[in-house]
């Protein structure tokens, strides 16, 4: 069949019928030429994936969630559960990344995995709406998936500024107990923390690869130093305290299963974001091989590091009540002070945790900027033509970067208005990410069950383990998503409510409105980029 020529985002796209098997892999249409320079090698990619999550650093910052709901047992077994679950998700997504390593990732994978033709005969308008025979319903769902992914990553990059800014406040409280911890000052500190990574992303893009390697070294080296200090100076807790102590009743929740599940927030969030390196794929050399490996290695390394850090912290923590009710707002600051007995040593230990987390923000901004740019490139956002521009001087999607930065500044106001800002910011990003994983994973399982011959073989394949691994990933992602929006304490008030669910619901409603007003006329699905060389 002779393909029709369509124009989309000022570039010609070849329309063609749906393809099967490896024909699909070889003939994915190219919407645009390569616009970003490939400069990230294998080691930089591993460092990027490992440091982006800043897992053990953020696990220390989010320790309050587990101590408040579930206690040491919830933290220890929770980090094991989180590592296994996120590793299953990483392996499942790695298969898709080896087929199409593209900045759009989830929503673009959904596009070629979604059922087509007669199974979606409802809503079909009787004409070709893209380079596949897809339904309007399918494209609408993919657009929602794209919105959720973009917004979730925008919220995720708020975590580092929030942790670092408010931890700086906490250290001021430790140094000067009479200091009043005012929330709007934390917001200003969040802005200050975000400024330099934004500047580096604009003016020093080429140094990001070196920064990633340096951050990777710090990420790995600072951990044993911290553990050695804790072990050498703090009297150890008994094994029973670390492995068998379950704390319930502090938060108002009574059911042990619910308490445990809500307490998982502090160990789920540090490992969420396994797709981060994927969104840099169009700047990674040999992306079809490098990106899947980086996802899996990065998740595994981070899981081991976070587990080691949390075990050491629990064995070396002092008074439990004093840590949970710390005036600094962070139990880890009090635990470090209890262990060392020195404010100066505490500041050094906290700095070793904050510095890699701050550098991770450099990578996070770069990743979510490329994701936002890819979605705009496919006409997924309002004013897409404006945000899809790659600046010819700096060779980055500058406007998309400023859009992401604006989201950081806007979301930082949650810090002012809610005492539950901690849970809201963590839950908001993590909930959206797991939802964004669920959509392509569910479609992949349906494809395996209905037409496995249509799934091409990529550079990375799970083989016979594919279906069990995908089902395991869906199980974990569903479980995590159910409890992430739960409020941390009862009774629920306007001030302590977890606003993650309502905010994400508003984003989805906004996406629906955009679809009705603009998207259904302009957005025809992604134009996935692929090249013959497997780049």
Report pLDDT for 470. 93
* Domain range summary for the chain, segments of one domain joined by +: 37-125+133-522
- The pLDDT assigned to 266 comes to 87
Predicted confidence (pLDDT) per residue in 50-64, tens digit: 777 788 988 998 898
What pLDDT is attached to residue 34? 52
Task: Report whether 278 contacts 253 (CB < 8 A).
Answer: no
Q: What is the pLDDT of residue 489?
A: 82
- pLDDT value at position 185? 86
Determine which of 88-97, 320-329, 426-435 has the lowest per-residue pLDDT on average.
426-435
pLDDT (average), residues 349-376? 84
Fold for 37-125+133-522, please state it: Amino acid/polyamine transporter I (1.20.1740)
pLDDT digits (tens, 9 = 90+) for 382-429: 888 888 888 888 788 889 999 888 888 887 887 776 656 656 666 777
What pLDDT is stored for residue 97 in this prediction? 84
Average pLDDT score over the chain: 78
What is the rounded CA–CA span in Å between residue 339 and residue 231?
Answer: 8
Closest CA relative to residue 190, chosen from 234, 143, 155: 155
Q: What are phi and psi of 123, to 5 degrees?
A: 75, -5
* 247: its two tokens: 């704390």
Of the candidates 405, 40, 429, 49, which has an alpha carbon nearest to the alpha carbon of residue 215? 49
pLDDT digits (tens, 9 = 90+) for 279-302: 777 777 777 888 888 889 889 999
Pairing of strands 5-8, 11-14: antiparallel
What does the pLDDT read at residue 451?
79
pLDDT at 369 over 80: yes
Instruction: Give the per-residue pLDDT at 323.
Output: 92
pLDDT band at 232 (very low <50, low <70, confident <90, very high): very high
Q: What is the pLDDT of residue 523?
A: 56
Residues with Cβ < 8 Å from 178, sequence gap 6 or more? Answer: none
Would you place residue 29 in the very low, low, confident or very high pLDDT band (cuts 50, 70, 90)? very low
Q: Which helix (H) or strand (E) holds 485?
A: none
With beta carbons less than 8 A apart as the criterion, state whether 25 and 456 touch. yes
Q: Is the pLDDT of residue 225 over 90?
A: yes
d(CA 297, CA 291): 10
Residue 183 CB: number of other CB atoms within 10 A? 16
Q: What share of residues in the chain are helix, strand, coil (percent, to 5)? A: 70, 0, 30
């Amino acid at each position: 069949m002779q393909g029709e020529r369509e124009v989309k985002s000022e570039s010609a796209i070849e329309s063609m019928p749906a393809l099967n098997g490896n024909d699909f892999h070889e003939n994915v249409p190219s919407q645009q030429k390569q616009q970003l320079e490939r400069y990230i090698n294998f080691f930089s990619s591993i460092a990027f994936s490992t440091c982006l999550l800043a897992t053990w650093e953020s696990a220390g910052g989010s320790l309050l969630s587990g101590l408040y709901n579930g206690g040491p047992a919830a933290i220890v077994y929770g980090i094991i559960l989180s590592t296994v679950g996120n590793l299953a998700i990483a392996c499942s997504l790695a298969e898709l990344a080896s087929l199409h390593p593209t900045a759009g990732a989830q929503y673009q994978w959904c596009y070629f995995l979604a059922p087509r033709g007669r199974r979606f005969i409802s809503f079909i308008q009787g004409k070709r709406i893209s380079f596949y025979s897809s339904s309007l319903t399918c494209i609408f769902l993919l657009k929602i998936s794209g919105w959720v992914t973009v917004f979730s990553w925008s919220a995720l990059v708020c975590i580092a500024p929030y942790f670092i800014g408010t931890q700086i406040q906490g250290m001021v409280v430790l140094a000067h107990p009479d200091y009043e911890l005012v929330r709007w000052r934390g917001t200003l500190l969040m802005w200050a923390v975000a400024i330099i990574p934004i500047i580096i992303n604009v003016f020093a893009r080429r140094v990001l690869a070196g920064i990633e390697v340096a951050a990777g070294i710090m990420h790995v080296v600072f951990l044993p130093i911290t553990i050695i200090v804790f072990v050498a100076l703090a009297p150890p807790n008994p094994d029973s305290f670390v492995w068998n102590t379950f704390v319930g009743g502090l938060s108002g929740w009574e059911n042990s299963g619910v308490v445990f599940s809500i307490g998982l927030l502090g160990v789920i969030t540090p490992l969420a974001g396994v797709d981060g390196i994927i969104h840099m794929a169009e700047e990674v050399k040999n992306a079809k091989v490098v990106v899947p490996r980086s996802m899996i290695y990065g998740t595994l390394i981070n899981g081991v590091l976070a587990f080691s850090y949390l075990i050491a912290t629990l064995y070396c923590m002092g008074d439990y009540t004093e840590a949970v009710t710390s005036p600094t707002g962070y139990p880890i600051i009090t635990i470090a002070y209890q262990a060392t007995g020195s404010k100066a040593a505490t500041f050094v230990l906290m700095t070793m945790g904050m510095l890699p987390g701050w550098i991770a923000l450099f990578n996070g901004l770069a990743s979510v900027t490329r994701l936002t740019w890819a979605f705009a490139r496919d006409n997924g956002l309002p004013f897409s033509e404006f945000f899809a521009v790659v600046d010819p001087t700096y060779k980055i999607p500058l406007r998309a970067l400023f859009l992401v930065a604006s989201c950081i500044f806007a979301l930082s106001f949650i810090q002012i208005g809610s005492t539950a800002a901690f849970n809201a910011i963590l839950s908001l990003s993590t909930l959206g990410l797991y939802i964004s994983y669920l959509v392509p994973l569910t479609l992949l399982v349906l494809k395996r069950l209905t037409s496995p011959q249509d799934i091409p073989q990529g550079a990375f394949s799970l083989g016979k383990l594919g279906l069990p691994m995908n089902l395991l990933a869906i199980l974990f992602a569903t479980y995590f998503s159910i409890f992430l929006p739960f409020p941390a304490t009862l009774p629920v008030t306007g001030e302590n409510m977890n606003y993650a669910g309502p905010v994400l619901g508003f984003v989805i409603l906004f996406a629906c409105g955009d679809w009705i007003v603009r998207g259904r006329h302009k957005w025809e699905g992604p134009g996935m980029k692929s090249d013959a060389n497997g780049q």
